Structure 1
Amino acid sequence: MNQNDLKRLVAQKAIEYVPLNAIIGVGTGSTADLFIDELALIKDNIVGAIASSERTKQRLEGHGIKVFDVNEVESVPVYIDGADEIDPEGNMIKGGGAAHTREKICASIAEQFICIADASKEVKVLGKFPLPVEVVPLARQAVARQLSDLGGQPVWRKNADGSPLITDNGCHILDVHGLNITEPLALEIQLSIIPGVLTVGIFAQNAADIALIATEDGVKVTEY
């Protein structure tokens, strides 16, 4: 199986965790896109969803799934999303799709976070994947200097045409290279209080409760 086959396999497995007659949280990214396509097949069994990005909102609505504003929803039973990296404790790096702020908000009101990924996303220590940090544009250089002082190598994320990537929140992304994140929770807290930082792509306070990992031998289920 190629990587896309593995992503589809785990997306199909995640449907087993979707409760009936509920509003669920849906993440952003290529694996989440495939999950949305599978969700469309059982859309009459759910009330609707909250979306972690405009991209996800459009895909859900394109399938005829009702999308609720997060402010309308007190909690959701599950939030299902992918990851750029996941460690043995369920801590993750997310934000490769520039949606980690809204992803973290959705995860914060979920009773259960289910991470869906292929085996290539499993790591012993977070940090090989550059850590996305969403920043207020005014603070981009100031934040970059502080990240450099901590040993990271921040790179301002650009679009393919060289223009600055602008998130759904009107912010910029600094991708921080060269980190070896042995204490995810401590670093998440430390970086989150830097003035101008909107959200850090470490998910330790909102770590996965269950990981569904697609392998050549099927989907591995890990509960944390």
Structure 2
Amino acid sequence: MKTTGGSDAQKRAAGESAAEAVEDGTVVGLGTGSTAAHAIRAVGRAVDAGLDARGIPTSFQSRELAREVGVPLTTLEEADGVDLAIDGADQFSGPHLVKGGGAAHAREKIVDAAADRLLVVADPSKAADRLDRPVPVEVLPDARTTVADEIRALGGTPTLRRAERKDGPVVTDNGNLVLDCDFGEIDAPATLAADLSQLPGAVEHGLFVGMADEIHVGTDDGADVRRF
């Protein structure tokens, strides 16, 4: 369930804008997705030019890219805090996000929540007056059916995410499955987030309520930075 829309130039502008916040001595969370990838590459170029920074990747994808571009890596256990995280979003409305198009939202939420600041990078197509994208819910394989029933009871329509170019479902880096849950327009994100968090067998959901400190929206002329 990867999102489309927005030009590569807009994504690059957003990612590079957020990467400018990474200073000497920074520990930075490295998000997942095509827009966050531009930020990782920009941090890599800065490190190559002499910047002292370390990254905490949120997925296999972001870890491999960080290694490729030369960003030194650390972990939440090893680091003395996370100064900021740079992460993408499938949709945003104010400081509220829907994430999980890359099935990395569980690890992303752990790192993003640990960071002193969360800088979201996005192209203009991700903006919305109200969140209405399906919410990804990572579930234990044995709990897929029971969680799906609970999602329906909450008014959602769950769909097991299928893998592309291979048979079977998407399997997360944690070895779990993903249900994409359509609730239509989400009038009360905090309430829905709390309900989803209480479901037995649900590992994590893709609602990031009030977590964004800044959203860097890439444009054809640079980036529009929205602060909350």
Is TM-score (shorter-chain normalized) higher than 0.5? yes
Kindly state the Cα deviation for residue 172 of structure 1 after the two structures are TM-superposed: 0.3
- Segments of 4+ in structure 1 off by > 4 A? none
Specify the alignment match of 1:60 in structure 2. Answer: 66
Mapped to 1, the partners of 2:209 and 2:117 lie a distance apart of 14
What is the aligned counterpart of 2:212 among 192, 208, 212?
A: 208
SS in structure 2 of the partner of residue 190 of structure 1: helix
1:147 has 2:151 as partner: yes
Preserved CA contact (<8 Å) 2:9 2:220? no
Report the count of equivalent residues.
220
Mapped to 2, the partners of 1:194 and 1:164 lie a distance apart of 21
Kindly state the Cα deviation for residue 183 of structure 1 after the two structures are TM-superposed: 1.2
Report which stretch shifted further, 66-75 or 95-104. 66-75
Please, what TM-score do these two structures have when normalized by structure 2?
Answer: 0.92
- How well do the aligned residues superpose, as a CA RMSD in angstroms? 1.3
1:71 has 2:72 as partner: no
Specify the alignment match of 2:57 in structure 1. Answer: 51
Specify the alignment match of 2:139 in structure 1. Answer: 135
What is the aligned counterpart of 2:91 among 85, 101, 112?
A: 85
Paired AA for residue 138 in structure 1? D
Kindly state the Cα deviation for residue 179 of structure 1 after the two structures are TM-superposed: 2.8
Preserved CA contact (<8 Å) 1:23 1:46? no
Preserved CA contact (<8 Å) 1:151 1:179? no
Mapped to 1, the partners of 2:150 and 2:46 lie a distance apart of 47
Specify the alignment match of 1:158 in structure 2. Answer: 162
Q: 1:180-219, aligned counterparts within 5 Å?
A: 180-204=185-209, 207-219=211-223
1:25 has 2:29 as partner: yes
Please, what TM-score do these two structures have when normalized by structure 1?
Answer: 0.94
Deviations 1:75-109 (A, max 9, x none): 11110011001102x10000000000000000111
Seen in structure 2, the aligned counterparts of structure 1 residues 216 and 47 have a Cα distance that, compared at 3 Å, is closer
Paired AA for residue 71 in structure 2? I
* Aligned-residue identity in percent: 35
Unpaired runs of 5+ residues, structure 1, are none
SS in structure 2 of the partner of residue 112 of structure 1: strand
